[in-house]
Amino acid sequence: MRRAPVANEADLIEPLKQVVRAILREGSRFRLWANSPAHRLYTIRTGGWWSNVWKFVTTSEIQWGHGREPRHPTHQVVFFNWPSSVILRIKFVVTGAEAMRPGLVAELDLRTDAATHPRGDRWARLDRLFSRLIEILQPDFGHVLLPGHPDIPDPPNSPECGWLTYLSHGELTRPLIVPPPSVALPFAAGLKIIAATTPDPDEYAAVAVAITELRRAIPLAG
């Protein structure tokens, strides 16, 4: 999540292309599609000299009277895989528009079952994709939620701790001392925190205690 609004929708075209490429790089099971404003289904292309990502960004405005209220983002882009093993949602507010939302919220929903990750590398894949989202979108904070994680407000207006957590330096009021078994690593413009390094957890319950201790330890701005 990034608090600052987007100056211009066109500013998200190249970052979103990079995000899509990162997802497609994970294999054919992660091929993405999207519906046009006329409800036609298109495959998302970013390869070679041609890309159609810009078409979806430049038609992403949510109009008044069609679900658009001040409590909603002003723009939304949704790409997905069929069957829905991947859903990428980018919700953002353009500077000057009336809205009571964070400036940008990126959500990547990914199934964690063996059918989606037949090589057994799902946790490495989650880490790779989370890290690329951080590098590309430069958020204030972000997290990876495992199955069974308690519901949190949408959008997250303050950082939430997950199996993986990212905090920019601006979110911390003092140096962070992470309680074991969690570990913190310098990453991008902040810290990437792993709630438990081994074994790879299957669900939230396996790391619930570590995440609870982490929430208590993090000194948050504001």
Q: Are residues 98 and 204 in the same domain?
A: no
Identify the domain boundary among 139, 161, 192: 139
- What is the pLDDT averaged over residues 175-191? 93
Q: Are residues 174 and 100 in the same domain?
A: no
The 10s digit of each residue's pLDDT in 46-94 is: 766 678 999 999 999 987 666 677 778 889 999 999 776 899 999 999 9
Reply yes or no on whether the pLDDT at 222 is more than 60: no
Q: Are residues 131 and 28 in the same domain?
A: yes
- Read out DSSP for the chain? -B-SPBS-GGGGHHHHHHHHHHHHTT-GGG--EEE-TT--EEE---STT---HHHHHHT-BPPBTTTB-TTS-SEEEEEE-SSSSEEEEEEE-BTTS---S-SEEEEEEE--STTT-TTS-HHHHHHHHHHHHHHHH--SEEEEPPTTPPP--SS-SS----SEEEEEGGGBSS---PPTT-EEEEETTEEEEES--SSPPSSGGGTHHHHHHHHHH--B--
- The whole-number pLDDT of residue 65 equals 63
Better-scored residue on pLDDT, 201 or 135? 135
* Count of domains for the chain: 2
Q: Does pTM surpass 0.75?
A: yes
Q: Are residues 119 and 215 in the same domain?
A: no
Q: Are residues 98 and 191 in the same domain?
A: no
Identify the domain boundary among 118, 139, 160: 139
- The whole-number pLDDT of residue 109 equals 94
Reply yes or no on whether the pLDDT at 8 is more than 90: yes
Q: Are residues 126 and 150 in the same domain?
A: no
Q: Are residues 123 and 171 in the same domain?
A: no
Q: Are residues 9 and 115 in the same domain?
A: yes
Domain of 148?
A: 141-222
